[in-house]
Amino acid sequence: MPHILIAEDEPRISGFIEKGLKSSGFTTTIVQTANEAISLALRGGFDLMILDLGLPGKDGLAVLEELRGQGEQLPIIILTARDDVQQKVAGFEGGADDYLTKPFRFEELIVRIRARLRDRSLPSGGESMILQVGNVQLDLRTRQAKVGEQWVELPSREFILAEMFFRHPGQVLSREQLLDRVWGYDYDPGSNIVDVYVGYLRKKLGSSLIETVRGMGYRLRNG
């Protein structure tokens, strides 16, 4: 079971991440300061770190620099409110494996985590990253969908929602689950946005692919 180190000093955000990761089969450890993050990362036993740049004690970029300077190759995803290009460039040049800005959606974070863990475990030849149900495919690297022989463009949120369904074919997913995973901790739970986006996917991927389970949610038909 992959062990994720969460370096985040905002309890609401770290708690949200921890809850989602645990429900997705990960184990977690939360630290709130830069020194704790460095100490635990160097101690080992983790498969990936989620790193906030605004940690108390030391800037997150300095944390990244120190870890890479000591030869630590732990995959690191920066999660920060800093969204300017220079910060992103600095993050990647400092050795970050990915960079995600706040506010964020949990399902996008989990996709990026899985991709980094998959990259770490891949043999040099790589492997296909395709999810398929019936005649519909999702390519996780290009973030595109294919229906039969036709490629279909899905905006980011639609793709994340589609991936949620394709990773759980035949399973009923409630509106609350989908809101939490795709739209995140800061979204109105009374919104009908899930129904709207399911409608978008039906139009693009096939009207019968996702069925409504009355009083429960939605299910991707598996066969």
Please state the domain extents for the chain: 3-121, 130-220
This prediction's pTM: 0.57
C-alpha Rg value of the chain to the nearest Å: 19
- Single-letter residue type at 204: K
Output 209-218 pairs: Cβ under 8 A, ≥24 positions apart. 209/133, 209/134, 209/136, 210/165, 213/172, 216/172, 216/174, 217/172, 217/173, 217/174, 217/175, 217/177, 217/178, 218/165, 218/172, 218/173, 218/175, 218/178, 218/194
Burial group, residue 64, by CB count within 10 angstroms (0-12, 13-18, 19+): buried
Measure CA 98 to chain center. 11
Q: Tell me, what's the pLDDT at 127? A: 44
Contacts of 115 (CB under 8 A, 6+ apart): 98, 129, 140
Q: What is the pLDDT of residues 65-111, one digit of tens each?
A: 999 888 888 999 999 888 888 888 888 888 888 898 888 888 888 88
Q: Tell me, what's the pLDDT at 187? A: 58
Average pLDDT for residues 116-136, to the nearest whole number?
69
pLDDT of residue 126 exceeding 50: no
Q: What is the pLDDT of residues 170-192, one digit of tens each?
A: 999 998 888 877 776 555 666 78
pLDDT of residue 132 exceeding 60: yes
Of 21-30, 61-70, 104-113, 127-136, which gets the smallest average pLDDT? 127-136
Which tokens is 119 given?
């990259």
Q: What is the pLDDT of residues 196-220, one digit of tens each?
A: 999 999 999 999 999 999 989 999 9
Average pLDDT for residues 17-28, to the nearest whole number?
89
CATH for 3-121? 3.40.50.2300
Element (H, E) at 19: helix 11-23
Q: Tell me, what's the pLDDT at 188? A: 64
Average pLDDT for residues 57-61, to the nearest whole number?
89
The 8-class DSSP code of residue 168 comes to S
Q: Tell me, what's the pLDDT at 119? A: 66
Q: By the 8 A CB rule, do 99 and 77 touch? A: yes
- Choices 1.10.260.40, 1.10.10.10, 2.40.160.40, 3.40.50.10490: CATH for 130-220: 1.10.10.10
